[in-house]
Amino acid sequence: RFDAVLAPIREAGVLRLTGALGDHTVPAPVITTDIQEAVEGADVLVIAVPAFAQEVFAEACAPFLRAAQIAVLAPGSTGGAFAFAQVLHREGAPGGVVVAEPLSLPYACRKIEPNHVHVGGVKRNLPLAAFPAADTRRVLAALEPVLPGMLVAAAHILETSLNNPNAMAHPVPVLLNAGWIE
């Protein structure tokens, strides 16, 4: 369903990033709609999808996951890690897959063009928790090379889920724009 969105990135082979991180062109070596290809070669999966898609991605990933892989929902969106883990269990994914979630997305960004993303801000001290919570430090260590200094340990996924700002930040603008949205 999303190949049209990914095709320009695949064709260019790069992403352009501007804004808070500077102006960079970075390689995008593997762009795929094949979930098996995306999952099997990865030690850490960062699943940045809206909350309504998290269970769909859990179902799609489950047959290809292996023990000790880390699946990070960015963000978990109020119970996402728990729901994702339940679906993995129901779908027969192997034990030992760690599911984690930060409180929010690590970057404030917008897609400007098909392969151009503007990063408006970088979050610091962003709480992250794993499920099970005993694996939080391992997840933080795995993410440190790609999100240096950005994440801190939360006690558990209830902390990240119940403090997620989406439930407070989004209803008011939606309500005030109901006419325009309709």
Ramachandran class of 170: left when φ > 0, alpha when ψ lies in -120 to 50, beta otherwise: alpha
Distance CA 161, CA 119 (A): 24
- The pLDDT assigned to 54 comes to 92
pLDDT-based confidence at 90, cuts 50/70/90?
Answer: very high
Q: From residue 124, how far is each of 113, 129, 151 by CA, in Å?
A: 26, 15, 7
* Closest residue by Cα to residue 160 from 106, 94, 97: 106
Top-confidence residue, 172 or 46 = 46
Of the candidates 91, 147, 90, which has an alpha carbon nearest to the alpha carbon of residue 124? 147
Residue 110 bridge partners (DSSP)? 118
| Amino acid 65: pLDDT | 96
Q: Which position has the higher pLDDT, 18 or 180?
A: 18
pLDDT at 136: 98
For residue 132, is the peptide bond before it cis, meaning its omega torsion is within 30 degrees of 0?
Answer: yes
Single-letter residue type at 152: V
Res. 163: pLDDT tops 90: no
CA 40 to CA 127: how far, in whole Å?
A: 27
pTM of the model: 0.87
Q: In this model, does residue 149 exceed pLDDT 80?
A: yes
CA distance 89 to 69: 14
How far is the C-alpha of 26 from the C-alpha of 24, rounded, in Å? 6
Q: What is the pLDDT of residues 60-85, one digit of tens each?
A: 999 999 999 999 999 888 889 999 99
